[in-house]
Homo-oligomer: A and B are copies of this chain.
Amino acid sequence: MMEVMDILRKYSEIADERIRESISDITPDTLLRASEHLITAGGKKIRPSLALLSSEAVGGDPGDAAGVAAAIELIHTFSLIHDDIMDDDEIRRGEPAVHVLWGEPMAILAGDVLFSKAFEAVIRNGDSEMVKEALAVVVDSCVKVCEGQALDMGFEERLDVTEEEYMEMIYKKTAALIAAATKAGAIMGGGSPQEIAALEDYGRCIGLAFQIHDDYLDVVSDEESLGKPVGSDIAEGKMTLMVVKALERASEKDRERLISILGSGDEKLVAEAIEIFERYGATEYAHAVALDHVRMAKERLEVLEESDAREALAMIADFVLEREH
């Protein structure tokens, strides 16, 4: 795991430099500070590293995908800023959210300007045909991120969400941008259609595993690792694979009880909801689905020739489920 962190650190530096170049000329100063707040606050930078490694894994130079890598991280940051406004979340990456520090109007603008800068980063250099192709991938993922967030918002009012609908939602909300990182990275590295498709699948699979594991940690981890109370998703009424499965499998009585707890905001009832998840194997089921997606992700890497970059991508796939927060 230490090794994965080292890889992420090394690769993300290439993207960080491009991001810094890209946003440093934003004016006025207030907008610049609001825009760079979450970027300087850190994060694991998995997404940009995946873009760079995907370029390298198809025989390109990591630097060929530097613009794409920067763009993906900028889009991720833009979506975090807007999501925090929508969900009224006040803490992000251990810092107050952008809208808490600068107010909602400036936070909306900071997101918008980072979104613009993302496209600027993609088109800044490289072969025009490749850039156009990579850009189409990135833009498509942006549409999906918005659609996924809208689906997620709609799910909070529904109790009949199917596993398929849930998987579509997290694909759009989380996995599509990760798949765009690996796919567009492979395009910029000059990958073959087969390599590009394999890396897109790899990205989608680890993206899905990532989100399911995130939801899973909310019930199996502890407050210290999470940095927030255990089961806060349950208290907030967030739709997760465990909720979908438990609602599908539970007895009438347990189902009614679970429904009354979801979104109640009452953290004392959370333990009872987690018990219901366990009773019907929902927690275990979610973990198995995440594991399965990591396995599929690694399988798809076999299309590529052996290389350090391919090895690193396989390690990152495992790392997705080793995270404790």
CB contact between A135 and one of B112, B135, B145 (< 8 Å): that residue: B135
Q: In the assembled complex, which residues on chain B have CB atoms less than 8 Å from the CB atom of A143?
A: 26, 113, 116-117, 120
Does the CB pair A85–B113 fall under 8 Å?
no
Does the CB pair A119–B139 fall under 8 Å?
yes
Known interface pairs A86-B104, A150-B28. Does A135 touch B119 (Cβ–Cβ under 8 Å)? yes
Q: How many copies does the complex hold?
A: 2
Distance in Å: Cβ of A146 to nearest Cβ of chain B: 4
Stretch from A123-131, A210-218, A272-280 at the B interface: A123-131
Residue A167, interface by CB 8 Å: no
Does the CB pair B139–A120 fall under 8 Å?
yes
Q: In the assembled complex, which residues on chain B have CB atoms less than 8 Å from the CB atom of A4?
A: none
CB contact between A123 and one of B28, B132, B151, B153 (< 8 Å): that residue: B132
Q: In the assembled complex, which residues on chain B have CB atoms less than 8 Å from the CB atom of A128?
A: 128-129, 131-132
Q: In the assembled complex, which residues on chain B have CB atoms less than 8 Å from the CB atom of A145?
A: 112
Known interface pairs A123-B139, A139-B123. Does A28 touch B86 (Cβ–Cβ under 8 Å)? no
* Bound CA–CA A281/B110 (angstroms): 38
Does the CB pair B154–A30 fall under 8 Å?
yes
Does the CB pair A112–B109 fall under 8 Å?
no
Residue of B with least CB distance to A85: B108
Q: In the assembled complex, which residues on chain B have CB atoms less than 8 Å from the CB atom of A250?
A: none
* Bound CA–CA A160/B42 (angstroms): 37
Q: In the assembled complex, which residues on chain B have CB atoms less than 8 Å from the CB atom of A111?
A: 112
Does the CB pair A120–B140 fall under 8 Å?
yes
Residue of B with least CB distance to A150: B31
Does the CB pair B123–A109 fall under 8 Å?
no
Q: In the assembled complex, which residues on chain B have CB atoms less than 8 Å from the CB atom of A149?
A: 109
User: For window 21-43 of chain A, which residues contact chain B by CB distance below 8 Å?
Assistant: 26-28, 30-31
Known interface pairs A86-B105, A108-B108. Does A115 touch B115 (Cβ–Cβ under 8 Å)? yes
Distance in Å: Cβ of A316 to nearest Cβ of chain B: 27
Q: What are 6 residue pairs bridging A and B, where the CB atoms are less than 8 Å apart in the complex?
A: A28-B150, A28-B151, A116-B142, A119-B135, A123-B132, A131-B132
Kindly list 12 other residue pairs between chains A and B, CB separation below 8 angstroms, not including A86-B104, A119-B139, A128-B131: A26-B143, A27-B147, A28-B150, A85-B105, A109-B146, A112-B142, A113-B150, A116-B139, A117-B143, A120-B136, A128-B132, A131-B132
